[in-house]
Amino acid sequence: MDEGLRRELGQHGIFTTSLEELYNWGRKNSIWPLQFGLACCAIEMIAASMARFDLARFGAEVFRPSPRQADLMIVAGTVTKKMAPQVVRLYNQMPEPKYVIAMGACAISGGPFKQGYNVLKGIDRFIPVDVHIPGCPPRPEALLHAFMTLQRRIDAQLLTGPNRPRHLKESAPSEFPIPQFGPHDISPNKNPALWQPPAFKRAD
């Protein structure tokens, strides 16, 4: 619909909308996170869901203890290599549409434990992350900001057309390969379709 006509109708007290907008409006205001914490960032996540910071204002206070009912995975904390297969499997078990917030320095990059032999250097090597939050740990306000960012992203998603999001495409995968915890390291150590190591090019 033409934006001018829409504003004109709005001035006369007539509200117009589209199915896409209704769909996104409903989804972005009822993001149910998976009840799932890995390390100290989870404490900040709990604080964000309690009365002082009140995640319920964004319709996201319903932490689900089962991935079957969850829309959002908040990877809150250090992902060890032993835990990584479980995180990916939980992500795979969530129904579409599903989103991921990588919360804290550890979840996005390994953080202060990046050099550790047992720490995954960022969960985005295995699952597609929608919002990254830096910080060690990030304050609850940062998590709220990530929520609002995610809401804006959901609001902008299209319902039809070639640019529609993954969950509306028949061919796009909803499951990602689960790595194995081997005797020496996790294998494979990344999902090349999702993450490639940054390439440094020498300036001539």
Partner 1 sequence: MNTGYSTSFFLVVFLIVAIGFAVAPLFLARLWAWKYSPRKPGASKNATYECGLESKGDAWIQFRSEYYIYGIIFLVFDVETLFLLPFAAAFPELNFGAFAAMLVFLLLLVEGLAWAWMKGLLNWK
Q: How many of the other CB atoms lie within 10 Å of CB of 8? A: 11
C-beta separation of 136 from 111 below 8 A? yes
DSSP string, 18-65: -HHHHHHHHHHT--PBB----STHHHHHHHHHSTTT-GGGGT----BS
Give the residue with the Cβ less far from partner 1, 34 or 144: 34
* Shortest separation between residue 160's beta carbon and partner 1, angstroms: 8
Q: How far is the CB of 62 from partner 1 (least distance, A)?
A: 18
Of the pair 89, 139, the CB lying nearest partner 1 is at 89
CB of 60 to partner 1, least distance (A): 21
As a whole number of angstroms, the distance between CA 117 and CA 82 comes to: 11
Q: What residues does 74 pair with on adjacent strands?
A: 101
Subset of 4-43 contacting partner 1 (CB under 8 A): none
Distance, CA of 180 to CA of 60 (rounded, Å): 32
**50 vs 158, beta carbon nearer partner 1:** 158
Q: What is the per-residue binding string for partner 1 in 42-71, x denoting contact by CB under 8 A?
A: ------------------------xxx---
Binding mask 81-110 for partner 1 (x = CB under 8 A): ----xxx-xx-xx-xxx-------------
CB of 168 to partner 1, least distance (A): 6
In the numeric block, which tokens belong to residue 10?
A: 């709005």
Token pair in block for residue 8: 């004109």
Q: Which is nearer to partner 1, 45 or 84 (CB)?
A: 84
Burial (Cβ within 10 Å: 0-12, 13-18, ≥19) of residue 78: buried
Q: To 5 degrees, how large is the angle CA 112–CA 113–CA 114?
A: 95
* In the complex, least distance from residue 52 CB atom to partner 1, rounded to whole angstroms: 29
DSSP-derived secondary structure letter, 135: S
Site for partner 1 in 134-173 (CB under 8 A): 159-160, 167-170, 173
What does the binding site for partner 1 look like in residue numbers (CB under 8 A)? 66-68, 85-87, 89-90, 92-93, 95-97, 159-160, 167-170, 173-175, 178
